[in-house]
Structure 1
Amino acid sequence: MLDTRPAPPAPRGGRAVLRPTGRERSFSADELIVSKTDPRGIITYANDVFLRVSGYEPDEVLGQPHNMVRHPEMPRAVFKLLWDTLGAKQEIFAYINNLASNGDHYWVLAHVTPSQGPDGRVVGYHSSRRKPSAAAIRRVQPLYSQLVAEERRHANARAAVDASSRLLADVLAEQQQSYEEFIWTIINREES
């Protein structure tokens, strides 16, 4: 089931609402942010880069929903696509804007894969994230802003996700690309 609720407030300091600061955090191109979750998206592992960049301590993230780092400017349609893809036991690449514990943000190119047990059943998810180029972020931000604007036109989460998912499908159809092709076009430009 898709979790379309807003990200919960950060556990540090008992803040009621974590507001974005507009400041960007960064990490080096040779570092990977790695986390693992159970099948429900509850964090079971976070590497030191994840902790440093997000600003959380291990006891603040382990056992928490991974959406605790969801930035409010990230379109829900992208997360629906992510969960639909993982539900089909396929990997996905996506550009994601995350929210650190103090409200700063950090962009990642995420590669998320389902982890399967010996019987083929999904036992969790593994995500490796690297630093995207500034050009990649500039390419994806207009689309994401358009999707978020569409979501905000709707009173409830389900209608918002449905509307922005339709818009995403329409934009990609107009470009004659799947989301995967759109992302790979950007990745290939980063690497050339």
Structure 2
Amino acid sequence: MVERVSVTQKEVSLSDDEFIVSKTDLKGKLTYINRTFMRISGFPEAELLGFPHNVIRHPDMPRGVFKLMWDTLRDGNEFFGYVKNRCKDGGHYWVFANITIDYGLDNKPLGYYSVRRKPTPRALDHIIPIYREMLAIEAGSSGKNAVEASLQFFRDELARNDTDYLDMMMKIENGELG
């Protein structure tokens, strides 16, 4: 079992040409990880494979973002988003994630495939305040209401920018929203 440690302010960064790759089964348990994933997170393969992907979840990530991710994937769409993950030593790293459904030859879902890369600094400047507000909303509410209230704030942010989720993520990453 993976031991939880206190989070620190230590940040680890991917280089511009690195990608973190992983696969999970339909329940989110890791079935494949690349060496970059292990190096950046600090976890050895034995502490990741077979465990839920959320073993690296950082407490600074709003639950509403993960609900949006799962809803998007359940609708059969790919997900793009910014995620702050926890390292084994309590540090963290940010990624711009693309998650898709992994289909078998029979066209039935087998699990999920994710490729993550280094986000641009300007993208984080834009997304971090949104995530902080979502976390504050979640802290001020309880149960499912917390996640729904957080997600509603995010939807309102989309409407304020006259965009949808995917378009907003692409505009943030490309520096077109600010």
TM-score with structure 2 setting the length = 0.94
TM-score with structure 1 setting the length = 0.88
Number of the residue aligned with 1:112: 99
Aligned AA (2:161): Q
**Over aligned residues, Cα RMSD in angstroms?**
1.3
Aligned AA (2:93): Y
Name the CA distance, whole Å, in 2 between partners of 1:24 and 1:99. 9
| Offset, 1:162 | 1.1
Aligned AA (1:79): F
Number of the residue aligned with 2:47: 60
Name the CA distance, whole Å, in 2 between partners of 1:89 and 1:171. 24
Name the CA distance, whole Å, in 2 between partners of 1:89 and 1:80. 14
Give the paired residue count: 176
Name the CA distance, whole Å, in 1 between partners of 2:163 and 2:107. 30
Number of the residue aligned with 1:169: 155
| Offset, 1:63 | 0.2
Name the CA distance, whole Å, in 1 between partners of 2:147 and 2:94. 22
Structure 1 segments of 4 or more deviating over 6 A? none
| Offset, 1:120 | 2.3
Aligned AA (1:112): I
What runs of 5+ residues in structure 2 fail to find an aligned partner? Answer: none
Number of the residue aligned with 1:33: 20
Of 153, 159, 164 in structure 1, the residue corresponding to residue 140 of structure 2 is 153
| Offset, 1:103 | 0.8
SS in 2 for 1:25: coil
Name the CA distance, whole Å, in 1 between partners of 2:96 and 2:151. 20
Name the CA distance, whole Å, in 2 between partners of 1:77 and 1:176. 20
Of 72, 75, 99 in structure 2, the residue corresponding to residue 88 of structure 1 is 75
